[in-house]
Chains A and B, each alone.
Chain A
Amino acid sequence: MPTSPDPPVSPSGRRTGGIHAGERRFALALTGPALLVLALTTTFPLLYLVWSSFQTINLAMPFMDGFAGVDNYVQMWGDTRFWHAMRLTGIYTVSSVTLQVIIGLGLALLVMQIPRGQWIFRIVAILPIVLAPVVVGLFWRTVMLSPNFGLVDYLIQALGFEQVNWLGAPTPALISVIVIHTWQWTPFAFLVLLASLASLPPDVYEAARIDRANAFQRFWHITLPLLRPAIVIVVILRAMIALSAFAAIFAATGGGPGTATEILNLYAFKTSFVELNFGYGSALAVALLVITMVVSGVLFYLRTARVADAAR
């Protein structure tokens, strides 16, 4: 039996290709500019950042500038303010993300039950999200939390409680910034989870109803597992934002009182732009970068592991 001939050269002179010829070149042409800009705007500065973390760059004392080796990192290791900032970052991120998910989910479940008027909730939910975080921080700092003038202060006193110096004392300040962040971003969780809830197939619930499952059982065994992917995504996204949140805290407390709300973000900022110690500030920023990468790596890994689990 004759063997089938090898593909000969086509009229256009191509050995392989046809529809796929030139596709790679076209693809590169389309992505080239974007990738170039990306490289310029992120990779290059990042490399610069890492480089400067190994330098001493102090605009206040320029005569000290020079190569520093790992001095900055050694200093960081022994810096209590650094570990304090790490701790605060952890508390801030975990508590606000947890609150966002719980409250957002609760609200979404609640609103799902309301037959009409859901649109009001949607509009109200959009507003905090579109505001600039710096404006939110300023609002809360001034009209809400100020002692003697703020709305919260007034309400607390009207309800008969003790006045609290929300932004002036360490623990209340930390609580305040967490509340502010949660206030602004819970609507995000709410909207995403509401949309997910709305897209759940109704027949599964009908089957469960016929199988005599009560409301709580339906929630625990059907709703929650079906919502898991959405919840996971919300957690990942909000965690990323919480780790890098800056403007709201800056506006509300500036990191204070003292260092009570100085998450790593702010510490790096202050070191660089207030104390003008760019070398050490760079090292701090690199630390934050590494933490962010690790956390997102872990979260993404958990997510794909979960997906694989669900597929099995």
Chain B
Amino acid sequence: MSGQGRVSLRGVRKVFGRFVALDGIDLDIEPVEFFALLGPSGSGKTTTLRMIAGLDTPDKGTLTVDGADVTFAPPGERDVAMVFQNYALYPHMTVRDNIAFPLKMAGTPKSEIDALVREAAARVRIDQLLHRRPGQLSGGQQQRCALARAIVRKPKLFLLDEPLSNLDAQLRLETRVELKKLQRNLNVTAIYVTHDQEEAMTLADRMAVYLEGTIKQIGTPAEVFDRPNCVEVAAFIGSPPMNIVPAMLDGRTVTIEGHRIELGWQPDCLAGPVTVGVRPGGLRIDGDGIPTRLYLSENLGETRLLNLELGQVLIKMRIAQSDFSPDVETVPVSFDPDSIHLFDAGTGRRVEAR
């Protein structure tokens, strides 16, 4: 089946007993995209990936790849390769045989297998380890072996299920970069499941944010970061995530704990309670600002993160080291009007300008 690796899901629903894993999702993935499925555990992202792989079938809805309906095609009939979270390497085979296995199963002639295996191994730089067994490899090497096994077939779709979660922090950062480069070199559509929003933000061309079995937002990392379309997404994205503070809206004025802030735009929302979102970097130390109580200061090296009590709410604020004075109990804080996001107090949806 030729094609570029365009994936479409429509109305996909999956239920496990009483648990609704996927509640009717729609998704379009462009060819050669690096697409991330981001969300906390149990949100449905892995279930989606498994459906694309063919390891599970939906109860409702369709799945098409390059226009062809593959909703019920078994995994062997799809041109899909997957890297599992625990790698799922075959422990009784050498690295070479692991990588060669999909070729062997596809009936590739022996003469070609060797060259293809070497090529794949070289791409991920484990060509020196072909004779070893998975048990003799380090975690990072095992992961690359799993990668090699996935890419050796030159599949149309390249699925990754939290591939970095078993690596230590340092390795994770290094491998991240390599994964992106690999995808670019191979020119293949990659669908990447993760719960680490930083990973998704740095790797993905576009991403889908999952919460409780539904997709809340689809967009580029910039779009999701700059314009989260609901409170839940806002509270999930960013390290640390956006501060969420209750406030009152009247015309263009937002009132928080008695302090008024003038917005430069007219929100399309009735006067009344509203939810304000502001990133830790959007707060300023201001003598005329809202008094907050400092209960913890985190030294991040280049900057400091202040944990503050604002009324009943806890917020975080980022400041330069030079602005920090120890032994301070109260910090007056003001909100940068241009950094304020508004969300409907009831539905949580983003409030746009009128």
Chain A–chain B contact at Cβ < 8 A? yes
Q: Which of B301-349 contact A (CB under 8 A)?
A: none
How many chain A residues have a CB neighbour from B under 8 Å? Answer: 17
Please choose the segment from A5-13, A204-212, A282-290 that sits at the chain B interface, where 4 or more of its residues have CB less than 8 A away. A5-13
Instruction: Tell whether A62 is near chain B: CB-to-CB under 8 Å.
Output: no
B77 and A12 contact, CB distance less than 8 A: yes
Q: Nearest B residue to A6 by beta-carbon distance?
A: B60
Please choose the segment from A16-24, A94-102, A175-183 that sits at the chain B interface, where 4 or more of its residues have CB less than 8 A away. A16-24
Please choose the segment from B29-37, B50-58, B209-217 that sits at the chain A interface, where 4 or more of its residues have CB less than 8 A away. B50-58
B70 and A10 contact, CB distance less than 8 A: yes
Task: Tell which of A5, A12, A16, A20 touches B73, judged by Cβ atoms closer than 8 Å.
Answer: A12
B71 and A8 contact, CB distance less than 8 A: yes
Contact A8 B13, CB 8 Å, known A18-B74, A19-B55:
no
Contact with A along B228-272 (1 / 0, CB 8 A): 000000000000000000000000000000000000000000000
Give the chain A neighbours of B56 by CB distance below 8 A: 19
Contact with A along B56-74 (1 / 0, CB 8 A): 1110111000001111111
Give the chain A neighbours of B69 by CB distance below 8 A: 8, 10-11
A11 and B73 contact, CB distance less than 8 A: yes
How many chain B residues have a CB neighbour from A under 8 Å? Answer: 22
Give the chain B neighbours of A16 by CB distance below 8 A: 57, 72
CA distance in complex: A7, B9 (Å): 12
Instruction: Tell whether B11 is near chain A: CB-to-CB under 8 Å.
Output: yes
A4 and B24 contact, CB distance less than 8 A: yes
Instruction: Tell whether A25 is near chain B: CB-to-CB under 8 Å.
Output: no
Instruction: Tell whether B42 is near chain A: CB-to-CB under 8 Å.
Output: no
B57 and A8 contact, CB distance less than 8 A: no
Instruction: Tell whether B75 is near chain A: CB-to-CB under 8 Å.
Output: yes
Instruction: Tell whether A14 is near chain B: CB-to-CB under 8 Å.
Output: yes
A17 and B11 contact, CB distance less than 8 A: no
- Give the Cβ gap from A217 to chain B, nearest Cβ, in Å: 41
CA distance in complex: A149, B173 (Å): 80
B68 and A11 contact, CB distance less than 8 A: yes
CA distance in complex: A17, B11 (Å): 19
Task: Tell which of A4, A5, A6, A7 touches B72, judged by Cβ atoms closer than 8 Å.
Answer: A7
Q: Which of A1-44 contact B (CB under 8 A)?
A: 3-8, 10-12, 14-21
B73 and A8 contact, CB distance less than 8 A: no
B73 and A4 contact, CB distance less than 8 A: no
Report how many A-B pairs have Cβ atoms within 8 Å.
59
A4 and B77 contact, CB distance less than 8 A: no
CA distance in complex: A29, B277 (Å): 61
Pull 23 A–B residue pairs with CB atoms less than 8 Å apart, ordered by A: A4-B11, A4-B12, A4-B24, A4-B60, A4-B61, A5-B61, A7-B57, A7-B60, A7-B61, A7-B72, A8-B69, A11-B68, A11-B69, A11-B73, A12-B72, A14-B72, A15-B72, A17-B57, A18-B54, A18-B73, A19-B54, A19-B57, A19-B74
Q: Which of B60-99 contact A (CB under 8 A)?
A: 60-62, 68-75, 77
Give the chain B neighbours of A7 by CB distance below 8 A: 57-58, 60-62, 71-72
Known: A12-B74, A19-B74. 20 other contacts (CB 8 A): A4-B11, A5-B11, A5-B62, A7-B57, A7-B72, A8-B62, A10-B71, A11-B70, A11-B73, A11-B77, A16-B57, A17-B57, A17-B72, A17-B74, A18-B54, A18-B57, A18-B74, A19-B55, A19-B57, A20-B57
B74 and A21 contact, CB distance less than 8 A: yes
CA distance in complex: A8, B54 (Å): 16
Give the chain B neighbours of A6 by CB distance below 8 A: 60
- Give the Cβ gap from B12 to chain A, nearest Cβ, in Å: 8
Q: Nearest B residue to A20 by beta-carbon distance?
A: B57
Give the chain A neighbours of B180 by CB distance below 8 A: none
Instruction: Tell whether B10 is near chain A: CB-to-CB under 8 Å.
Output: yes
Q: Nearest A residue to B1 by beta-carbon distance?
A: A11
Give the chain A neighbours of B24 by CB distance below 8 A: 4
CA distance in complex: A7, B59 (Å): 8
Q: Nearest B residue to A10 by beta-carbon distance?
A: B72
Give the chain B neighbours of A8 by CB distance below 8 A: 62, 69, 71
